[in-house]
Amino acid sequence: MTATPQFRTTKPESDSPGSREVVLRYFAWLREKIGTGEERMPLPPTITTVSDLLHWQVTRGHPFDAAFAKPDAIRVALDHAHAKPTATIANAREIAFFPPVTGG
Amino acid sequence: MSVRVGTADFDVSAEMARIAGNDTDIGGVAVFVGKVRGRADGQDLVSMTLEHYPGMTETELERIETEAQHRFNLSASLIVHRIGTLKPGDNIVLVIACAPHRHDAFAAAGFLMDYLKTRAPFWKQETLANGESRWVAAKESDDTAAAAWRSKAAD
């Protein structure tokens, strides 16, 4: 999908008031542990920061509990931009999780 | 200024001619090529597979180039990064920085590589001669190198 951060909108077909569907992407060993590179999920309305999101993943049971056991070792991008744990998710449509990058 | 991500190899001379063109204000061109080493932590390597995050990779590389333009007196720059499965000796990455003077060319090439290493969403997986396959861990020294540029921002 193409993310357009400057025109973020909440999808009108959200599951319930306060809950909206987002695309979650996984890369490298995280993708392997989870068994998929992409899923669509309604985000619980209580989640507001990247840190909330990482800790919510641990509560989702197998295989997420093991994959996210060390949330500090996982990096997050909101709509194709790196985000710190304290960052607010706001209206991000695509949220990616990955280990520290190793290109070059 | 341009970035390219793909499986194809690159020709350094051709890329240099294309990026520098006929711009006679360019007085120095710094070229860096990153290659696949045949050994990793004392073990023989059979291949290296590079995964990336299509869309974010290009966006992030463009952000890094823009940042380099703000920091240095650059005439032109290019980043080419390969993905897929590569063999020892194969090219992985090409960075070219063209500037009126050498200091900006050298510094910009170093900056582009240091930032690319810590910010561009690529991940390497090594396949060793013993059949083992493992994801390469990020190096603290790469974070230190990128952080050194951040502390220079106020210079």
Question: For A49-98, how does the pLDDT look when each residue is reduced to its tens digit (9 = 90+)?
Answer: 999 999 999 999 999 999 999 999 999 999 999 999 999 999 999 999 99
Does A96 lie at the interface with B, CB-CB under 8 angstroms? yes
Contacts of B17 (CB under 8 A, 6+ apart): none
Write out chain A residues lying below 8 Å of B135, CB-based: 28-29, 99, 102
**pTM as predicted:** 0.90
pLDDT of residue A12: 44
Mean residue pLDDT of chain B comes to 96
Q: Determine what percent of chain B is predicted with pLDDT higher than 70.
A: 98
Write out chain A residues lying below 8 Å of B122, CB-based: 101-104
Could you tell me where the beta strands, DSSP code E, fall in chain A?
A: 20-26, 38-43, 75-78, 81-83, 94-98
Give the residue from chain B lying closest to A38, CA to CA. Answer: B53
Q: Which residues of B touch A (CB under 8 A)?
A: 34, 50-53, 55-56, 59-60, 81, 92-93, 113, 116-125, 135-138
Mean residue pLDDT of chain A comes to 87
Label residue B22 exposed, middle or buried (CB < 10 Å: 0-12, 13-18, 19+): exposed
- Whether residues A3 and B122 touch (CB distance < 8 A) is answered with no
User: Which stretch of A12-16, B11-15, B55-59 has the lowest confidence by average pLDDT?
Assistant: A12-16
Write out chain A residues lying below 8 Å of B52, CB-based: 103
Assess whether pLDDT exceeds 50 at residue B73.
Answer: yes
pLDDT of residue B155: 53
ipTM of this complex: 0.93
Assess whether pLDDT exceeds 80 at residue B41.
Answer: yes
